[in-house]
Chain A
Amino acid sequence: MLILECPYCGVMADETDLHGGGEAHLKRYGPGSSDDEFETYLFHRKNPKGVHFERWRHVSGCGKWFHAARNTMTLEVYGTYPAQTTEPPKELVAKIKKKHPEWGGYE
């Protein structure tokens, strides 16, 4: 079972207490943007085989949104971090890179 540490309340929450929110750090587009930009924002997803940054909500706990770095091939969890950011923390990216030198890094 998938277990993620909620970065707000520190609880090791298992999957049934959480709700997945899809890819993290999407660039949002508003009025005046082109059709292609809207398509990218609304529908295109990285869907990688490997390291994936995603949004989760601690629904049955503190109710807050946070981010997690997880591997979609091994289900390994690299870490979680608060949602008030537009990109993953550098330490976390460095930690994953150290573990998987072949990984292209966060883009």
Chain B
Amino acid sequence: MRRYSAFAIAREAARYHTGWERAWKSPKPKKKYDVVIVGAGGHGLATAFYLGKNFGITNVAIIEKGWLGGGNTGRNTTIIRSNYLQDPSAAIYEKARSLYETMSQDLNYNVMFSPRGVMMLAQTEHEVRGYERTAHANALQGVKTEFISPQRVKELVPIMNINGPRYPVLGALWQERAGTARHDAVAWGYARACSDMGMDIIQKCEVTGVRQANGVVTGVDTTHGQIDCDKLAMVVAGNAGHLADMAGFRLPMESVALQALVSEPIKPCIDVVVMANTVHGYMSQSDKGELVIGGGTDGFNNYTQRGSFHHVEETVRALVETFPIISRLKMLRQWGGIVDVTGDRSPIIGKTPLGNCFINCGWGTGGFKSIPGSGWAMAETVAKGEPGSLAGEFGLDRFTEGRFIDESVAAGVAH
């Protein structure tokens, strides 16, 4: 792999950019791999990367039914934060956030991590109490957050109307070191680094069956033929239930549509990420000037990657109330992704009823921010055969034991 650098740009500029090589190879699948990872989104690629980097396992294939990073990795609103209430969540999301800080250097790929700060507005007394509690919990967990006053909110985001008629802003949970990153670049950067380690990324290759013998996984059937493996990692978000069905087990999970939209580009007007969970909308401004807007999930099972119109309406209504200056903006694009939501709104990382088959799913509406932490924890689980300290609490068995990591109550809606 030729490194990207200022020198490389100068060198290529001098020869009409003829020397750039492909960022990753597209090989034919081999007969057998040590580890096959299903799903080349952020989480799957991060798992592969840390398998190679932390455990030296590089005989790895990452297979993807569509194109690399074409699922939720390319469909989210790119928010990165770690201000969670529960200890296991805060640990893994904070690990992820800290890995994002050095990701561009680690991958030699500019992921444009921008620690611009994330604020979650408190617009009811319940939210004030909830977020004060989260701020205290975060202090104990070593995650730097603070509860700030409405005046401070106004200083940070002058375009916000903090005296709205329905829900005035009563304060906010502020995480200064949270922010955004370029979502596609995260997938591309990991893919380039994995390919450089000799891993095979096989796109447009759909898994059609999971092979097993004596309760242990032996490989997968795909549209490119049979691929054998010693260990299988399923990292497929919304399609995890479908894949688990092939492997013969069920998951405590349902797939629903989550939507996002962007406005026409305007001059810089907001340099933090604002989430308003009571009125249900969140917004940030991209480097291109578009306002990136997200809302809530639909209330029914859906695999179509498009959601209900009335949710868009609710989200936009909420944001117009919070940011009156955006009321005349046109929306450029709207899209949906399929998120896998578990009973306690926390992810599943760990072993499955099938031997040597591991699963990483259930990130629901909070997948992007967790990509490096999730990959780190999943790689450890796959390499050692047992979940490590980060993944330990997130096993499937928590649903049998009633040992939930209840972010559905802690985080409210957006997550």
Contact = CB atoms under 8 A, between A and B. Distances in A.
B250 interface: yes
Interface string A37-74: 00110111111110010100000000000000010111
Nearest to B300: A20
B304 A43 contact: no
A49 B242 contact: yes
A91 interface: no
A95 interface: no
A12 to B, nearest CB: 16
Main SS at interface, chain B: mixed
B299 A35 contact: no
Contacts of B399: 39, 42-43
Given A44-B252, A47-B255, A54 B310 contact: no
A23 B254 CA distance: 9
Interface residues of A, number: 27
B334 to A, nearest CB: 15
A15 interface: yes
B301 A54 contact: yes
Interface in A75-98: 75
Interface in B117-146: none
For chain B, give the interface size range.
Answer: 20 to 34
A16 B303 contact: no
Most buried by B among A2, A39, A73: A39
B400 A47 contact: no
Contact of A54 (B239, B253, B300, B400): B300
A72 B300 CA distance: 9
B163 interface: no
Contacts of B309: 1
A107 to B, nearest CB: 12
B413 interface: no
A22 B255 CA distance: 11
B337 interface: no
Given A1-B309, A2-B308, A74-B304, A43 B252 contact: yes
9 contacts: A1-B309, A40-B250, A43-B252, A46-B241, A47-B253, A47-B301, A49-B242, A52-B301, A73-B303
